[in-house]
Chains A and B, each alone.
Chain A
């Protein structure tokens, strides 16, 4: 059996000024073909102005079991949000 084309994750910038967003994946022999295929698979209706392709094998991801240690510490730090502080109305907009 022949070697399978590698999997690429596809990121599309939907409009100018927006960041690239993950839209899905596809198989392609190299980056150039991945971009061409991504154009056909993910932007048939003007969904994008720019495409990034990244080999799926090159993406490192956090593990679901690390959810607690990673994200819980921020839950107790409510003072990071501006609404934590009461500013008197007399001060005006801040």
Chain B
């Protein structure tokens, strides 16, 4: 999940009898699976929660370019390089679809960027881990994009129209990302002993951070309950995590790799894989800014924003001059 621990109103689901007529009408529309559009009336909490969630997702797409961009110049072949470039370009596109959905809720692009840079908005914890070897690029596509898809597919049905449409576009493109990652893992796992070890090492390092992407259990969370009533969250974090594990374990077996969890076993009664929880204290540390790459990621985003200022200003000045000239003619 690219949005983790998004806070809602903090008060749980509002009982129907406490709702204003407008709120009741709004909830009826959501319950009837009608899409809410930008100019429609919506509760303030809905708007604010959506801005937080969509923005966190958008920031994740943009920051997510950094660990992968790290390998563009060092991809092993020209074809791999072209594929990785296309994938990283897609991530930029996904960020832009989502920013434009967030902007329909009444926040500007510059505000969103500034909130990322001043730390008041977050991006997914997963992008604070380094990509140390080429196999990590495979693991990121296979596991990280795989985990993202788990969450994004149901979000295509979210109640907010612009968000839903952005998710539909993203899902269409995301499957390429996961498959290119798995393709790299297959090559590595079937390669030399050194390559196989590299693939195993990438799985070892990315397994638990991928499980953390869904966020801690939220079965008792008041925030999640409200978000689910509003249909801006469709499944609980535990449901999605279980689905991800069930899908991924057989794929790891296919690759001949070992999931780094001694307690992993198939439960005949439930029909699901039992697995160990990630270390949640590590997760909270990463969110606080103490992950291996938090500082590096934020420094890269700040540098891009500051170094690009003259381009943004110059192009605006040029556009202004040109429209004056056209007006004078």
CB within 8 A of A27: which of B109, B165, B166, B318?
Answer: B109
Cβ-defined contact, A44 with B109, below 8 A: no
Number of interface residues of B (CB under 8 A): 28
Tell me whether B282 is interfacial, beta carbon within 8 Å: no
- Interface segment, one of B144-152, B218-226, B308-316: B308-316
CB within 8 A of B39: which of A2, A4, A44, A61?
Answer: A61
- Interface segment, one of B96-104, B131-139, B205-213, B233-241: B96-104
Within 8 A of A (CB), among B9-36: none
Contact with B along A35-60 (1 / 0, CB 8 A): 00000110011000000000000000
Q: Which residue of A lies closest to B316 (CB)?
A: A29
Taking A2-B312, A44-B93, A45-B173 as contacts, is the C-beta distance between A25 and B103 under 8 angstroms? yes
Could you say which residues of chain A place their CB within 8 Å of the CB of B316? 2-3, 5, 29
Cβ-defined contact, B100 with A30, below 8 A: no
Tell me whether B89 is interfacial, beta carbon within 8 Å: yes
Taking A24-B97, A44-B90 as contacts, is the C-beta distance between A33 and B109 under 8 angstroms? no
Contact with B along A1-27 (1 / 0, CB 8 A): 111110100000000000000001111
Distance in angstroms from B35 CB to nearest chain A CB is: 12
Cβ-defined contact, A29 with B315, below 8 A: yes
Contact with A along B71-91 (1 / 0, CB 8 A): 000000000000000100110
Tell me whether B319 is interfacial, beta carbon within 8 Å: yes
Within 8 A of A (CB), among B158-189: 165-166, 169, 173
Number of interface residues of A (CB under 8 A): 20
Distance in angstroms from B278 CB to nearest chain A CB is: 34
Cβ-defined contact, B315 with A5, below 8 A: yes
CB within 8 A of B309: which of A2, A25, A40?
Answer: A2
Distance in angstroms from B178 CB to nearest chain A CB is: 16
State the CA gap A57–B316 with chains docked (Å): 17
Q: Which residue of A lies closest to B323 (CB)?
A: A30
Tell me whether A64 is interfacial, beta carbon within 8 Å: yes
CB within 8 A of A24: which of B166, B319, B322?
Answer: B166
A-B contact pairs, 6 of them (CB 8 A): A3-B313, A7-B100, A7-B109, A24-B165, A24-B169, A41-B93
Residues of A at the B interface (CB closer than 8 Å) are 1-5, 7, 24-27, 29-30, 33, 40-41, 44-45, 61, 63-64
Residues of B at the A interface (CB closer than 8 Å) are 37, 39-41, 86, 89-90, 93, 96-97, 100, 103, 108-110, 165-166, 169, 173, 309, 312-313, 315-316, 318-319, 322-323
3 shortest interchain CB distances as A-B pairs: A30-B319, A29-B315, A29-B319
6 extra interface residue pairs, beta carbon distance < 8 Å, beyond A4-B108, A29-B319, A41-B96: A3-B313, A7-B103, A30-B323, A33-B315, A44-B89, A44-B173
